C-alpha cells in the first residue's frame, strides 16, 4: 500500500494525473471516500490527463458517463445509489473495461465484486493544515497493477508519506 500526502487540491489533482499517465485499456480505478472527500475532483483531473475535453460530472443519477474525447475512452461510474450488488451486472462495467478505462466512485459499496483494481482511498489528513488537505492511500487488488506498481510508486514519490 502507498500512503500519499496531498496538502492541497492541486496536489490531489496532480496525483490523479500521475496515475492517469500509467493506465491502459482494461484498467479499473476504484475511488473510496466519504462525501466531499474529492472523488469527483479526482476523476476530473484523471480525465483531463487522458485528454477528455467534455465536462466530467458526477454520474450519481445516470450511474455511468462515458467520454471518448481522450487518448483512451473513460467510463466514469458512481455506485452511491446502487441498491444491491446484483445491479453491477446491469451496469456492464466489465464490458466497458474492454473499450477503455473505468473509474468508479463509491466502489467500496461493491466490495471485491468489481474484481482487479487500483483502489484509491481519499481521506482527511490526520494533521490537516487546511480542510483541503488529504491522505490518499493506494492499494492493488488482484494482478492488474502488479507490473506497474513500482513505476507508479516512483512517479508518486514526492507525495509519499514517510
**Residues 27 and 144: beta-carbon distance below 8 Å:** yes
> Does the structure show a pLDDT above 90 at 21?
yes
Distance between CA atoms of 102 and 110, rounded to whole angstroms?
Answer: 14
Query: What is the total residue count of the chain?
Result: 162
pLDDT digits (tens, 9 = 90+) for 121-160: 999 876 666 678 999 999 999 998 999 999 999 999 999 9
Q: What are the domain boundaries of the chain?
A: 2-91+103-129
pLDDT given at position 108? 85
Sheet-wide strand order for 134-141: 2-6, 134-141, 117-124, 28-32, 101-105, 74-78, 64-67
Bigger pLDDT: 124 vs 30: 30
pLDDT given at position 58? 85
pLDDT given at position 83? 67
Distance between CA atoms of 102 and 66, rounded to whole angstroms?
Answer: 9
pLDDT digits (tens, 9 = 90+) for 34-49: 988 999 999 999 999 9
pLDDT digits (tens, 9 = 90+) for 81-110: 776 666 677 788 888 999 999 999 998 888
CATH number 3.40.50.300 is the correct assignment for the domain at 2-91+103-129:
yes
Bigger pLDDT: 94 vs 61: 94
Q: Which three cell numbers stand for residue 134?
A: 488529504
pLDDT given at position 129? 63
pLDDT given at position 159? 97
pLDDT given at position 8? 93
CA-nearest of 54, 100, 109, 103 to 81 is: 109
Amino acid at each position: 500500500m502507498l500512503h500519499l500526502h496531498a496538502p492541497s487540491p492541486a496536489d490531489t489533482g496532480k496525483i490523479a494525473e500521475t496515475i492517469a499517465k500509467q493506465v491502459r485499456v482494461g484498467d479499473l480505478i476504484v475511488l473510496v471516500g466519504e462525501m466531499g472527500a474529492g472523488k469527483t475532483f479526482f476523476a476530473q483531473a484523471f480525465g483531463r490527463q487522458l485528454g477528455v475535453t467534455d465536462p466530467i460530472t458526477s454520474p450519481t443519477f445516470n450511474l455511468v458517463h462515458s467520454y471518448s474525447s481522450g487518448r483512451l475512452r473513460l467510463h466514469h461510474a458512481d455506485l452511491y445509489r446502487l441498491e444491491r450488488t446484483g445491479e453491477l451486472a446491469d451496469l456492464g462495467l466489465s464490458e466497458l473495461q474492454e473499450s477503455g478505462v473505468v473509474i468508479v466512485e463509491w466502489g467500496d459499496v461493491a466490495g471485491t465484486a468489481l474484481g482487479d483494481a487500483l483502489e484509491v482511498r481519499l481521506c482527511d489528513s490526520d494533521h490537516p493544515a487546511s480542510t483541503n488537505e488529504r491522505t490518499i492511500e493506494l492499494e492493488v487488488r488482484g494482478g492488474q497493477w502488479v507490473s506497474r506498481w513500482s513505476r507508479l510508486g516512483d512517479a508518486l514519490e514526492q507525495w509519499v508519506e514517510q
